[in-house]
Amino acid sequence: MTEPAFFILTALVDEPRHGYGIVQEVAELSGGRVQLKIGTLYGVLDRLTAEGLVELDREEVWQGRLRRYYRITEPGAHALDAEAVRLAENARSALDRLQGRHGAVRIAGGLA
């Protein structure tokens, strides 16, 4: 799973969102590291929709423009869960090795 797909799915866990809302939430979730461009966002959303991980929740007109809201599906939630576990296991393996090599390793501003 790509990093943008991971963060888009994560952004949709708590509520359906429209495109700009997804862009903002992804930026917040990633601490500003992932800045989605609209073309990238809709390319990923199209792929996630085709894979059944995301679906259209509703459409509404806002200030004369159509807004599409997307929501995560149950298969999407399962895929996100599996990816989060995989990433956590990979990070733990790397940190364990680094711990053995250098003693204390910095983790998110602290020491492990």
Greater pLDDT, 104 or 77: 77
User: 3.30.70.2660, 1.10.443.10, 3.20.20.70, 1.10.10.10: which CATH number matches 3-111?
Assistant: 1.10.10.10
Convert the pLDDT of each residue in 24-55 to its tens digit.
Answer: 999 999 999 999 999 999 999 999 999 999 99
- Answer yes or no: are the C-beta atoms of 46 and 68 closer than 8 Å: no
The neighbouring-strand residues paired with 71 are: 55
Convert the pLDDT of each residue in 67-100 to its tens digit.
Answer: 999 999 999 999 999 999 999 999 999 998 888 7
Greater pLDDT, 103 or 38: 38
**What are the φ/ψ torsions at residue 16 (nearest 5 degrees)?**
-65, 145
Q: How far apart are CA 88 and CA 112, in angstroms?
A: 15
- Answer yes or no: are the C-beta atoms of 22 and 41 closer than 8 Å: yes
| All structural domains of the chain with their residue ranges | 3-111
